[in-house]
Structure 1
Amino acid sequence: MNTQTLEQMKQLRLHGMLRAFNTSLSSQSIDYTNDELIAYLIQSEWDDRHNRKIERLTRSARFRYSALMENIDYDPSRKINKNQIQRFANCDFVAQNDNILITGSTGAGKSYMASAIGHQACSLGYKVLYFNTTKLFTMLKTSKADGSYARQIDRIEKQDLLILDDFGLKGLDNINRHSFMEIIEDRHGKKSTIIASQLPVEAWHDIIGEQTIADAILDRLVHTAHRIDIKGESMRKKLKNKE
């Protein structure tokens, strides 16, 4: 009977329950009541599905870094508000459709922090997508040529959290400017966006170009956003000096 039950669990793809039941059969020291066994099997299946969902969301996000919020460096020289960052861990900002803007010099740890928040959002079941901004715009230009632009924009719009890293390394041309406007307009008040940049927010207007569109984009991005400005020396340099 147990063999048949195990086979049925396998066919039903109850992988967590299958492993838990196998464990209970092989262990002589665990004596479950019927209620306890059922609760154990259900919890094991729930845990398995939850973990696989997180793995799937994390894989789909395509993060640059495997980053954890607990590994963020709060050295006083970085001038980071630890309470502010830790409040992001519950991802209320995603539920409230708020944006986060992270600025700082090269190597300051902007990308790591953005990725860490993104990983945390995945762990809570949110759909996240990470992009290097330059590569995003290159992809969107290519998609205009092959007819997949609308599908790519729709995919971006559906993400609970969009992370745009290394924003502002080069100015936006007319095509990229309008694509950026479309992305921000689609997400405004509906979804959350994190932007990480070497440039202070005050310089973004010139990077976007064309005053009317720049005003419209920044009006949607900046005014109600959470701001993080990381100070201190490059984290890469700091870690290299420790070696």
Structure 2
Amino acid sequence: MERLATLDFVHKRQNLFITGSSGTGKSYLACALGHEACKRGFRTFYANAPKLPGALKVAKVKGTLETELKKIERCQLLILDDLFLVPLDVKERPILLEIIEDRHERKSIIITSQYSSFNWYDMVGDPTIADAILDRIIHTAHTIELYGESMRKLGLRKTEKLKRVKLN
């Protein structure tokens, strides 16, 4: 983590995958790195990945899709949080591919997902597009795989212990 916190991977236009079960701290780590990137002057864009395609569909209807895609393209670091939490539909696949293609070897992406890249073919739903997406990001990616119980669940246990102590 200390090496990643130097943001050398952003300078080198590399990517970062953070995978693990729900509650293991993927979003926390991605946001901490994004915060550090902002402090160091990197233009950073955070997107909740399940909501992003819907927002881009609305932009397309409004005629502002190109403007929204330019915002994403201009940033040096893109954080796609919870990618593939919901499988992509036919209209969302090419939009994600376009975002990835525009950044290929030019800018960095941090992707958090509950699924390892091996499962992405099923989540994308089209093997050709999945292959294109993976080919453009996996070769320049660092990977962190988180294990353990949900931090939220552990937090609940601490609260329950405190309540028991206070009641006694």
TM category (shorter chain) comes to over 0.9
TM-score of the aligned structures, taking structure 1 as reference length: 0.64
Which ranges of structure 1 fall in alignment gaps of 5 or more residues?
A: 1-84
Report 1:138-157 matches (<5 A).
138-157=54-73
**Structure 1 CA distance for aligned equivalents of residues 151 and 117 of structure 2:** 21
CA RMSD, Structure 1 to Structure 2 (Å): 0.8
* More contact order relative to length (CA 8 Å, sep ≥ 6): 2
How many Å separate the matches in 2 of 1:205 and 1:111? 22
Q: 148, 160, 165: which is aligned to 2:81?
A: 165
Match of 2:22 in 1: 106
Residue segments in structure 2 that go unaligned for 5+ positions in a row: 160-168
Q: Cα offset for 1:155?
A: 0.8
- How far apart are the structure 1 equivalents of 2:110 and 2:125? 20
In the alignment, the residues of structure 2 paired with residue 213 and residue 220 of structure 1 have an alpha-carbon distance, to the nearest angstrom, of 11
Please report how far the alpha carbon of residue 174 of structure 1 lies from its aligned counterpart in structure 2 after TM superposition: 1.5
User: Would the aligned equivalents of 1:205 and 1:218 in 2 still touch at CA under 8 Å?
Assistant: no
Which residue in the other structure is 1:63 paired with? none
Could you give the per-residue CA deviations for residues 4-60 of structure 1, whole angstroms, max 9, x where no partner exists? xxxxxxxxxxxxxxxxxxxxxxxxxxxxxxxxxxxxxxxxxxxxxxxxxxxxxxxxx
2:104 to 165, 173, 188: 188
- As a proportion of its length, which structure holds more helix? 1
- Structure 1 residue 198 and structure 2 residue 114: aligned? yes
Aligned to 1:227: 143
Report the Cα offset of residue 197 of structure 1. Answer: 0.5
Structure with the bigger percentage of strand: 2
Structure 2 partner of 1:116:
32
**Cα deviation, residue 162, structure 1:** 0.4
The one-letter amino acid of 1:145's match is: V
Q: Which entry has the higher C-alpha Rg, 1 or 2?
A: 1
Cross-structure match for 1:88: 4
CA distance in 2, matches of 1:211, 1:239: 39
Residue correspondences, number: 159
- Between the two proteins, what is the percent identity of the paired residues? 50
Report the residue type matching 1:230 in the other structure.
L
Q: SS in structure 1 opposite 2:79?
A: strand
Q: How does 1:19-168 map to 2 (within 5 A)?
A: 85-168=1-84
Matches within 5 A, 1:228-243: 228-243=144-159
Alignment-derived partner of residue 164 in structure 2: none
Runs of 4+ in 1 over 4 A off after TM superposition: none
Query: Aligned residue for 2:163?
Result: none
Letter in 1 for 2:155: L
Q: 8 Å contact 1:163–1:193 — kept in the other structure?
A: yes
Task: Give the letter for the 1:212 counterpart.
Answer: T
SS class of match (1:167) = coil
Q: Which residue of 1 aligns with 2:126?
A: 210
